[in-house]
Structure 1
Amino acid sequence: MDSGSGSAARGFVNDLATYNSLGLGDFSKVQAGDYSSYRNQRRTVSVLGRINYSFLDRYLLTANFRRDGATVFGANHKWGNFPSASLAWKIDQEPFMKNQKLFSALKLRGGFGITGNQQPLGVLQSLQIVQGSGTVYFAGNVQTNFRTTQNSNADLEWEQKKSINIGLDFTMLKGRLSGSFDVFKNTTDKLLYGYTVPQPPFPTGSIQANVGSIQGGH
């Protein structure tokens, strides 16, 4: 949780006390914006399940399911589902490998998974925000103006990274040489990004949303 407040005073007789005694100011000279306060809170909840399975100590399976919820997202998409799974085959344990002398360990593996990202978002970026915008004189009094400074987006949701990988681990020459080969592909969907929108129908000219995707691999 993040919170704070601020205040200012005007019309001091002298500057000896500076900000250490705001009560020495002339409160009849207070202007809009001389006082403020805020309270922000980000909450994340996660539920995780996992299954491990081994058959003949040669075929291995791990499956995970994660469900995450975060307050920073829109009202329609607070939660995201993120499954993952990995398979491994210990080739060196197969009967047809028993008479060979080259490999002491040889394993083929593959995996797929989806993870979520919320880091680009501030605490209130799915909500419409209204702030003070100067003052006007009306009916003999000073009135504070207000304007919308941020558009709401009830459909703002998790950025998702999908990963696929295939790898080979080996140990050979009686343990003198070992290594791994990996091939992977990453795709990031529903990128969190602020882009320009027309006015009207939007109150302000930009909005935080999920747009586009990028890919990478090796």
Structure 2
Amino acid sequence: MIVATGGTPAAPRVPGAGLVHDTWDVLAGTRRLRGRVLVYDDHGGNQALDAVEALVGEGVTVEIVTPERTLSPDVGALTAAGYFHSLAENGVTVTVLRRLHGVTRTPEGLEVELGVDGFAFRERRTFDAVVAEMGTDPVQELYDELLASSTNLGAVDWADLLARRPQTAVRNEDGSFQLFRIGDAVASRNVHAAMLDAARLCRTI
């Protein structure tokens, strides 16, 4: 049995995370934000850039912040060029080398605390809303429920996998089926990695 239940948006693990929206809400239109919005990207893919484009399309003033040395390092150069043109055209402020450390509600709005990795430097800025892209957390309830009934207890034999052999690991002789999980059901990753997981496991079935 292969579990591919995907993931749900991960929240930043900082004080005040409950005040932060995720990019899924922005792109789905379930959150209509106004004013000055911080989009924090700790994922490096297309998602934060898509959210920025959606926000500026609604007349929002956006600043995109990342702890990386460059913006969206996982986006290819050809695709990134279109995004960066849109950022410039819409006056989006880009801030690199800043990690989110906390969000606090104040009478003036949401105060965010930003820092530089490895140093004590901190700065505080105020926005009307904060959006974060942190990848996904696995949806693993089904996997956990099935685990004890599986013969392999979810384990993957790496030697079998790399040799393109059927999986042979047995850790529970009372089990009645093999159990594996792929894609975002394991950890946050892109669709290509999920497809590779599936191909490696399923080609021997």
TM range (shorter): under 0.3
Normalising by structure 2, we get a TM-score of 0.21
**Higher share in helix:** 2
Rg (Cα) greater in structure: 1
- Answer 1 or 2: higher relative contact order, Cα 8 Å, separation at least 6: 2
